[in-house]
Structure 1
Amino acid sequence: MGEFIRSVWWMIVSLGVLVTFHEFGHYWVARLCGVKVLRFSVGFGRPLWMRRNRAGTEFAIAAIPLGGYVKMLDEREVEVHPHERGQAFNHKTVWQRIAIVAAGPVANLLLCIALLWAMFVLGRQDYSATIGRTTGMAQAAGLQAGDRVLSVDGRSVATAGEASMALTTAAMDRHDARIEVRDSLDQAHTRSLPLSQLPAGFNERHVLALAGVGWLSSLQPALVDKVLPDSAAQGVVMPGDLIVAIDGQRIEGADQVTPQIRTLGERGGPGMVEVLRGGERLALELTPRQGKDAQGAPVWQLGIGFAQASAPAYDAKLQYGPLAALPAALRETARMAGDSLGMMRRIVTGNASLQNISGPVTIARVANVSAQRGADWFLYFLALLSLSLCIINLLPIPILDGGHLLYYLIELVKGSPLSERAMAAGQYVGLALLAGLMGLAFYNDILSLPLR
């Protein structure tokens, strides 16, 4: 319950900050253009708090913290007195309306840059892209433990996270990755990882495991912590056993156990699980049983669990002085935007799974994890979420800012506004698209929740 409350709290904080900046962008430019703003609300539904300023604008915090809005004087929505028509949104020039609508996403973009600048000045601790273990494809490509990845397909990487993202992108695009590394003897090498050979329909979240790459920071010994009752391992495997081989395949980390158990189960029949117990190496005969994982999917199991390893110490830090942090923030913003747009393109073309679309449940969980990792990681999370909000709002979908901008661009081309009927039809289409995206996001969120 404590984890749930913390997740909800950090989601509210995150969305509250980002929505406030987004709506303030609309509000500030609207006031500059002489538009009367009736209400500035953070959240939807019944107001929990409200104040009115001298200009007559109501500032409110509402009960549902999943967005916000700026309500402006507009003859299409409310009756406008003749002496106030000059302050109505619909009486402004098309360029003024474009500026007001675009100001929200631009505010989120500027906030992203500011947050990344603060993160770089503070310094973000991370894990270096140092390989701890290679198997299969990666081993055949010449990658070795101790190699430090410098770039993937010409794109420089400084951390394991950046390298993982670059390799996953190459796998989704079905092309081999050109990897520049520096080995433990400080010698530079270029390797080709044949990611195009991954099987069709591979799980995009398991690209590294399928390619045989294990980062040094993620290695965890296969030390048995518990044995489930009425399982294949009960009475055979003991807590404290260190698994060193399964069916003749060497085991160097806990992450290798599940794939080997799956291979053993699919083969059928018993297999030998070798363990170290009290300094003695034992060969134990076991037959996996088919059960269900945390998401309810079928999986081969022995019925063992591993001790939760403590997080390793960070071995990389991205930090700049106040002046150098600005161009670094701009470069990182451009990189993040490219990754986000690239992912959208891959989802549309079918190169990426729809499971990459996440909703508020995932946002809440990631917000909580980022906050627990420190201010540097939480700033990075906020920056990424702010940029995502900017990009999503610029999509040409009616009801979003991008849809309104599309209407105004059409108005510029044809010389007159779209008819009320056409805009109303667009709103219905936009609502349907948005509802579909939200439904898919919630569906993916629910699937990601562990079953109890």
Structure 2
Amino acid sequence: MSDFLGSVWWLIVSLGVLVTFHEFGHYWVARRCGVRVLRFSVGFGRPLWARRGKDGTVYQIAMIPLGGYVKMLDEREAAVPAAEVAHAFNRASVWKRIAIVAAGPIANLLLCVALLWLMFVIGRPDYAPVIGQATGIAEQSGLRAGDEVVAVGDRPTPTWQEVQLALLPAALDHRDVRLEVVDAQSRAAVRELRLSQLPDDFDQRRIAQAIGLLPRHFLLPPLIGRVEPDTAAWGVLAEGDRVTAVDGQPVRAFDDIGPLVQTLGEQGGPAMIEVERGGERLALEMTPRSVERPDGGGRYWALGIAPPRNLPLPPKDAMQQHGPLEAVPVAVREVGHLTGQLVGMIGRAFSGRVAIENTVAGPITIARAANTYAQQGAAWYLTILALLSLSLAILNLLPIPLLDGGHLLYYLIELVKGSPVSERAMAAGQYVGLALLASLMGLAFYNDILQLVR
């Protein structure tokens, strides 16, 4: 399946699941509050499939899969027979209306817990949080290659993904953070990562690179993919050789070769380059040559070799997994943590600490993310689905008219003043809400297009 078709498919599946649960929350509570539900729709527009249930509700799937709705009996929308008035939404008590409206976001919140529980039970494979290379701020903070990050602040980090997520808010706030690490000799240590030194214009989409952290699984293996003609390695080394040592110094990754060759060239004279070839270990004598940099920035010592192109990432070597009972409190705590993270991001967006292109994702970005996660397996897809469900719950609770949070605001005002909000005030609120939602959608599509252009 192509990336385009895969993205469209997983967007439809994801929105279908999230919207169905959200609207089912409204539907289920409305029925138990004695309010009649006329229509339960997944999607907008012309129905592609519809069926009337025994309860009189029309259940349908519509052609535009970007939302859904539950239509209830309401005197404000159409005339209601006298016999049905008691079942109209507008005649329900304010507490029942609050319960019905809040049920949608609560359903998404519960779905998030369930999805994360299932993800933990299945087990999500990832990479171990081991540093492959530390430069810049990371190196200045005392981090070294081979360090395993076991916690960022008070947050345990069993995988590299958890390290990145834990560093994100501190980096956006330019706040120093404590890291608990275990070095290559299995010694525990604490490092203060000086994120306050990050420049104001750092790339917020690449936090680890801005800090100077390269994970171990990103290191290129010391394989030779190409030998340049008329160089020191020409006729000596061959494609497919694995370099194991340079002048007696061990080589772990391809990036280790360059600095060792520079030292070797400055010393002058030949040295032994140890390689593995066809299951044999060879020691080959070579003398680096001084060559001009392609950008004209001076000369450097080189053997004339390059790594292979488009190498796949190594197999994942870490797993987040818990038993069915143990996963329940873990999932609940994770939802609480993610809620705090998302609310914090909203606050940073309003304060300008988050770049505009990183604030709101549109359907294109969501589709591509869902497809990418789905390709990594069921556990990863459950992760993105849980995040989307939680985001939908939080978004709907914002006090914007037309959203659930806007209706809840009206009902809270009604509780305080003892009477419903006037029709004129509600109409004005609808216009304001429509303008805000249109602006939000415009920003989302702008960000989508910006990401595609980049």
Q: TM-score, normalised by structure 1?
A: 0.83
Question: Which whole-Å deviations, capped at 9, do the CAs of 1:226-275 have from their partners, x for residues lacking one?
Answer: 9xxxxxx9x99x99799x9xxxxxx9678xx9xxxxxxxxxxxxxxxxxx
Q: 1:325 to 1:67 in 2, by over 3 A?
A: same
Aligned residue identity for 1:364: A
Question: Which whole-Å deviations, capped at 9, do the CAs of 1:118-149 have from their partners, x for residues lacking one?
Answer: 11111111112111111122112211111111
| C-alpha displacement of 1:184 | 1.5
Question: Which whole-Å deviations, capped at 9, do the CAs of 1:198-250 have from their partners, x for residues lacking one?
Answer: 11221112222122111112223598989xxxxxx9x99x99799x9xxxxxx
Please tell me whether Structure 1 or Structure 2 has the larger radius of gyration of its CA atoms.
2
Task: Specify the SS of the correspondent of 1:369.
Answer: helix
Task: Specify the SS of the correspondent of 1:205.
Answer: coil
RMSD: 3.0
- Answer yes or no: is 1:366 the counterpart of 2:364: no
What does 1:321-336 correspond to in 2, within 5 Å? Answer: 321-336=323-338
Q: 1:160 to 1:408 in 2, by over 3 A?
A: same
* Structure 1 contact 131–216 (Cα < 8 Å) conserved: yes
| C-alpha displacement of 1:88 | 0.4
- Answer yes or no: is 1:437 the counterpart of 2:440: yes
Q: 1:308 to 1:91 in 2, by over 3 A?
A: same
Distance in 1 of aligned mates of 2:225 and 2:76: 66
Task: Specify the SS of the correspondent of 2:214.
Answer: strand
Question: Which whole-Å deviations, capped at 9, do the CAs of 1:56-80 have from their partners, x for residues lacking one?
Answer: 1110000000100000010111111
Which segment is superposed worse, 59-68 or 342-351? 342-351
Give the alignment partner of residue 352 of structure 1, picking from 354, 364, 367.
354
- Answer yes or no: is 1:307 the counterpart of 2:309: yes
Distance in 2 of aligned mates of 1:397 and 1:309: 48
Name the counterpart of 1:163. 163
Name the counterpart of 2:318. 316
Q: 1:368 to 1:436 in 2, by over 3 A?
A: same
| C-alpha displacement of 1:155 | 2.0
Name the counterpart of 2:71. 71
Distance in 2 of aligned mates of 1:428 and 1:305: 59
* Structure 1 contact 224–307 (Cα < 8 Å) conserved: no
Q: 1:97 to 1:253 in 2, by over 3 A?
A: farther
- Answer yes or no: is 1:409 the counterpart of 2:412: yes
* Structure 1 contact 222–306 (Cα < 8 Å) conserved: no
* Structure 1 contact 220–253 (Cα < 8 Å) conserved: yes
Aligned residue identity for 1:309: L
- Answer yes or no: is 1:135 the counterpart of 2:135: yes
Distance in 2 of aligned mates of 1:349 and 1:150: 31
Q: Which runs of no fewer than 5 residues in structure 1 stay unpaired?
A: 227-232, 245-250, 258-275, 290-303
Distance in 1 of aligned mates of 2:144 and 2:82: 76
Which segment is superposed worse, 345-354 or 68-77? 345-354
Q: 1:220 to 1:84 in 2, by over 3 A?
A: same
What does 1:48-447 correspond to in 2, within 5 Å? Answer: 48-220=48-220, 281=288, 283-288=290-295, 307-356=309-358, 357-447=360-450
Distance in 2 of aligned mates of 1:147 and 1:305: 25
* Structure 1 contact 223–307 (Cα < 8 Å) conserved: no
* Structure 1 contact 175–195 (Cα < 8 Å) conserved: yes
Which segment is superposed worse, 442-451 or 124-133? 442-451
Distance in 2 of aligned mates of 1:240 and 1:438: 51
Q: 1:225 to 1:77 in 2, by over 3 A?
A: farther
Question: Which whole-Å deviations, capped at 9, do the CAs of 1:355-380 have from their partners, x for residues lacking one?
Answer: 22211111111111111111111111
Distance in 1 of aligned mates of 2:434 and 2:93: 27
Distance in 2 of aligned mates of 1:444 and 1:283: 46
* Structure 1 contact 127–159 (Cα < 8 Å) conserved: yes
* Structure 2 contact 147–182 (Cα < 8 Å) conserved: yes
Question: Which whole-Å deviations, capped at 9, do the CAs of 1:94-122 have from their partners, x for residues lacking one?
Answer: 00000000000011111111111111111
Aligned residue identity for 2:16: G
Aligned residue identity for 2:213: V
